[in-house]
Structure 1
Amino acid sequence: MKNKPKTHTSGRYKLIHRGVECLNCGHPLDMSDKYCPNCSQANSTKKLTLKDFFEEFFSNIISYDSKLLKTLTALLLRPGKITKDYIGGKRVSYTNPFRFLLSLAIIYFLLISFSGDFAELNRFGQQSNELPVNFGSSMIEDYDFGDQEREKENLIKQLDSLKLEEMINEKTRTRDSIIMADPKKEIQKVSGESFISALFQKQKIFTTLIQKDTLYSFKEATEKYKLENSLNNRMAFNMTQSLTKAKREPGAYLNSLFSKLPFTTFFFLPLFSIFIWLIYIRKNYTYTDHLIFSFHNQSLLFILLIISYLIDTVFGIDSNAIFVLIFGIYLYKSMRNFYQQGRFKTIVKYIFLNTIFVILATIGAVLLITGSIFTY
């Protein structure tokens, strides 16, 4: 063998993984060829691993060029074909699936956050000393009773006679005065309860302290009231501080929440791919192959959502349902083309996987909201 390299590269580019024909363009190669002289793809026949997959992502993070157009065309017109090509070795023709999905997710959620008018919601925010609910006649004064105005007037009189708002205000003042008299004692009183119970009890105490004493950090609270620097105390304070800010500026909170959604996608998609691997376990595909399939289909969903958003913005219509239906048909075709199974089996697995996807997406959203409560 001529021109044999003196040093070997690591991983999937070792000499033992070299082939005699380019997997992308079919050009004949010599074992000494590190790259195909025709299309420049690396000469490697080794199956992709997760490590290889993400190494290629980071090494090509800013290299889109003509691959973008080819990727878009394949995704839109040939369901499942792009994944077959990619795991079959034709990778130099397309963008990295992980990078492509991340870019689309960021673009979509940026569009939503910038044009969602979330700032308008800030005017509905509550000040720290406001009651969460309006009691008394104000509860029903805007309610439409139709022709029964006398019934409405009688109900207003009854509620006003009960003086609910005064009673609740008095109870709140009493509770707050007890807490402010000795915050450390009140914190210690609930510390003996279970972790979750103590967390929510302390959250109520810290709400009073933040409202009445204008605390800005947990460190300030520990120094001022000699509180224990425990995990439960820190979590309770952070949750209270985040909830207080979210109540005051709900629009800003929603905007912050949407900015984190793209990254949530990448937490449950790898888990979702495990279910794909399980129901297609007899197929000769690795977990990474199923993950790439998930990335490609999720990318198509974001493309359709972006198109739908642009159409809705320009024409003032609601086309989301149409594009979600298009995606549903596309996903079925993609599963049929990629996994090469009959209609009945594909339909059964299609229903199962979509059910799992909705469950995981819901769990991901709940975890995101829960996490943002402690970090906003």
Structure 2
Amino acid sequence: MGDKKQIPSATNVSENSRRHYKYRSNKCLNCGQPLDLSDVYCPYCSQLNSTKSLSLKDFFSEFFNSIVSYDSRLRYTVGDLLFRPGRITRNYTRGQRLRYANPFRFFLSVSIIYFLLNSLVTNLFPETNANYQVNENREPIQFSWSNYDKGTGEDIPAPTKKTEANIENTPGLKELDSAITAEIKKKKLAADTTQNNATTYLSEKQLATKSWSENIEERLFLYKEFYLKSEIKDPAIALDSLRHNNTRYHRWLYSRSVATQKVVDDPKAFVLYMLQKIPFFIFFFTPFYALFFWLVYSRKKFGYMEHIVFIFHLFSFLFIGLFITTLPDLLLDTEIFKSILFGIVGPFYFYKALRNFYEQSRLVTIIKFIFLNIVFWIGASVAAAIFFIITAAVY
């Protein structure tokens, strides 16, 4: 009886529960922190103070408890984020962190959910993306090796063993190579070498005589035209067929030419590919944008990370808004709700968030609101251009 009084147990806890006092230890099994037997959780790492082996029932019980716990944080996070702009950041930075979801984790979650939804809508309702229709009637550009037609180029060397092996093992390539070789060996003067579908063949020796920029330009154009004619995606096979040096740099240039044409043929796929990378774009853009908050609000003595948390909350609200407006826009076949979000709700939310978090007067907040908007659009435009180039380079 005396022992039970000294070691209290939780009310209505079953003796088979991992929370029961008989399974408690005087040392945390996770971090080694010394504990009292009255400690239900470790004060250092928050792990349950229990020595009982994990059963299937215990496992699922803790799993559902963690969902309920996250659900309460999710409820508070979404509610304050939508209806109390700026206050969620103020509460979070002042220490109320168990009440809300982690800002970056929450931003990443809502952005991924939105793009999954957007991808689902795109696949189920392709007519909503009419701006990105593929031109299926494009005629392939015909090859005409102008230099060789004029008899001014070098003789074409005999195919290498590697080329012959590739030709023999690739369906349709043998006939294609024979057609190209026969066309080259005709050596007849082109009727009009200035036509758009005429391509001037340039050997490695001819390209070596050009400047660095001209060399790249000529290669990219030549590789693109060759791909349009042959539809060969493998850079090694293409370079062998063109009798160009099979270097890593040349293979990369050829693959970029193929990727560029893929963008032209199917812009919808490229747009969707870019959209999937937007969370990473925002992640890398946020620290740069936060520098201007740090400068503008230097007298408020906020830390740099607190500005980053504020910006992540802003972007999280934006993705929640996009998520909410997707369905009504889809049902009404319009973009009116997204337009209202970006044109009215978004700017007003940004102003209210600045006012509530940084707690300055209306006039000062409006001035800083205008300045930060200008910085955002200029910075985002430059960053988006860089992001587009990098995305196209790895597409």
- 1:12-51 counterparts in 2 under 5 A? 33-34=43-44
Corresponding residue to 1:183 among 203, 209, 212: 203
- Offset of residue 97 of structure 1: 0.7
Counterpart secondary structure, 1:65:
helix
Work out the CA distance in 1 between the residues paired with 2:256 and 2:139. 15
Does 2:74 align with 1:68?
yes
Does 2:389 align with 1:365?
no
Does 2:220 align with 1:203?
yes
- Show CA shifts across 1:259-288 (max 9, x none): 222322212112111111111122221111
Corresponding residue to 2:345 among 311, 320, 326: 326
Which residue number in structure 2 is paired with residue 349 of structure 1? 368
Contact 1:218 1:238 in 2 (8 A): yes
Does 2:198 align with 1:171?
no
- Show CA shifts across 1:167-217 (max 9, x none): 87753455x2x41xx533344343x324xx533332101112223344323
Contact 1:97 1:292 in 2 (8 A): yes
With normalisation by structure 2, the TM-score equals: 0.64
Equivalent residue letter for 1:290: H
Contact 1:200 1:236 in 2 (8 A): no
Equivalent residue letter for 2:218: Q
- Offset of residue 82 of structure 1: 0.9
- Show CA shifts across 1:78-112 (max 9, x none): 11111111112211111111111112222223333
Contact 2:86 2:357 in 1 (8 A): yes
Work out the CA distance in 1 between the residues paired with 2:340 and 2:102. 28
- Offset of residue 295 of structure 1: 0.3
Work out the CA distance in 1 between the residues paired with 2:320 and 2:392. 30
Counterpart secondary structure, 1:341:
coil
- Offset of residue 6 of structure 1: 10
Equivalent residue letter for 1:337: N
Which residue number in structure 2 is paired with residue 281 of structure 1? 298
Over the aligned positions, Cα root-mean-square deviation in angstroms equals 3.6
Work out the CA distance in 2 between the residues paired with 1:168 and 1:289. 66
Work out the CA distance in 2 between the residues paired with 1:272 and 1:128. 46
Instruction: Tell me the percent identity.
Output: 31
Which residue number in structure 1 is paired with residue 267 of structure 2? 250
Which residue number in structure 1 is paired with residue 330 of structure 2? 313
Counterpart secondary structure, 2:195:
helix
- Offset of residue 366 of structure 1: 2.0
With normalisation by structure 1, the TM-score equals: 0.67
Work out the CA distance in 2 between the residues paired with 1:128 and 1:244. 13
Equivalent residue letter for 1:83: T
- Offset of residue 130 of structure 1: 4.7
Distance 1:98 1:34, change over 3 A: same
Corresponding residue to 1:297 among 297, 301, 314: 314
Which residue number in structure 2 is paired with residue 147 of structure 1? none
Considering only CA atoms, is the larger Rg found in Structure 1 or Structure 2?
2
Work out the CA distance in 1 between the residues paired with 2:225 and 2:67. 48
- Offset of residue 244 of structure 1: 1.4
Work out the CA distance in 2 between the residues paired with 1:257 and 1:285. 34
Does 2:93 align with 1:87?
yes
Equivalent residue letter for 1:34: Y
Distance 1:89 1:209, change over 3 A: same
Does 2:99 align with 1:100?
no
After superposing the two structures, state which structure 1 stretch, 73-82 or 248-257, moved more.
248-257
Contact 1:215 1:221 in 2 (8 A): yes
Distance 1:173 1:339, change over 3 A: closer
Contact 1:124 1:250 in 2 (8 A): no
Structure 1: runs of 5+ lacking an equivalent: 15-28, 38-59, 132-165
Contact 1:239 1:374 in 2 (8 A): yes
Work out the CA distance in 2 between the residues paired with 1:63 and 1:241. 50
- Offset of residue 365 of structure 1: 2.7
Work out the CA distance in 2 between the residues paired with 1:167 and 1:109. 52
Contact 2:240 2:246 in 1 (8 A): no
Distance 1:63 1:235, change over 3 A: farther
Contact 2:236 2:251 in 1 (8 A): no
Which residue number in structure 2 is paired with residue 272 of structure 1? 289
Which residue number in structure 1 is paired with residue 245 of structure 2? 227
Corresponding residue to 1:215 among 223, 227, 232: 232
Work out the CA distance in 2 between the residues paired with 1:362 and 1:167. 46
Distance 1:245 1:316, change over 3 A: closer
Counterpart secondary structure, 1:105:
helix
Structure 2: runs of 5+ lacking an equivalent: 1-24, 34-38, 48-65, 143-189
Which residue number in structure 2 is paired with residue 261 of structure 1? 278
Distance 1:246 1:270, change over 3 A: same
Work out the CA distance in 2 between the residues paired with 1:222 and 1:184. 11
Corresponding residue to 1:129 among 122, 132, 140: 140
